[in-house]
């Protein structure tokens, strides 16, 4: 089992969320992120960039948050309050599952499997597609990526 529990605890401590209630799931799967609308901007852009960068590092062992973090990286230049709130919800999800990680079986087969998925015209700002892939060695996830094209 490979996890980043210590890093997750440090991240929660830095965000003053160590004693928060855990969130059961990061966000609604159907929520569309946007930089337009009447949501006020988040004023501390550097803090937002640092938080998203730290969340990106955590996705190495937490593929369950990868898509949401990737979506939030699109707004590093001009984040809004709603983007920051989603990042906090992701932290609350991490609080509830600090020890999650990747499990590599000791009796792994040498069978390599790969999957790819595309969602055309999904980004409401750029009207570009989002694609992703995952690669498994036996039953263990060894690589993944979600990408805006």
In angstroms, the CA 68 to CA 86 distance is 9
- Which pTM does this prediction carry? 0.66
3-state secondary structure at position 5: helix
102-114 burial: b if 16+ Cβ within 10 Å, else e: eeeeeeeeeeeee
In angstroms, the CA 50 to CA 18 distance is 18
Contact status, residue 54 vs residue 73, Cβ threshold 8 Å: no
- Chain segment 90-138, per-residue pLDDT in tens: 888 888 877 676 666 677 667 888 888 777 666 666 666 667 888 887 7
- Chain segment 20-47, per-residue pLDDT in tens: 888 776 566 666 777 777 788 898 999 9
Q: DSSP readout, 52-64?
A: HHHHHHHTTT-GG
């Amino acid at each position: 089992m490979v996890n980043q529990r210590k890093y997750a605890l440090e991240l929660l401590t830095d965000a003053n969320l160590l004693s928060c209630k855990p969130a059961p799931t990061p966000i609604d799967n159907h929520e569309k992120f946007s930089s337009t609308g009447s949501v006020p901007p988040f004023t501390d852009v550097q803090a937002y960039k640092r938080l998203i960068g730290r969340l990106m590092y955590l996705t190495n062992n937490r593929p369950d948050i990868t898509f949401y973090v990737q979506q939030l990286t699109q707004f590093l230049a001009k984040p809004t309050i709603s983007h920051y709130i989603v990042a906090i919800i992701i932290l609350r999800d991490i609080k509830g599952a600090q020890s999650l990680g990747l499990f590599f079986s000791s009796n792994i087969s040498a069978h390599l499997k790969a999957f790819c998925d595309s969602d055309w015209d999904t980004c409401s700002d750029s009207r570009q597609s989002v694609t992703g892939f995952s690669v498994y060695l036996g039953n263990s996830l060894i690589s993944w990526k979600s990408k805006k094209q």
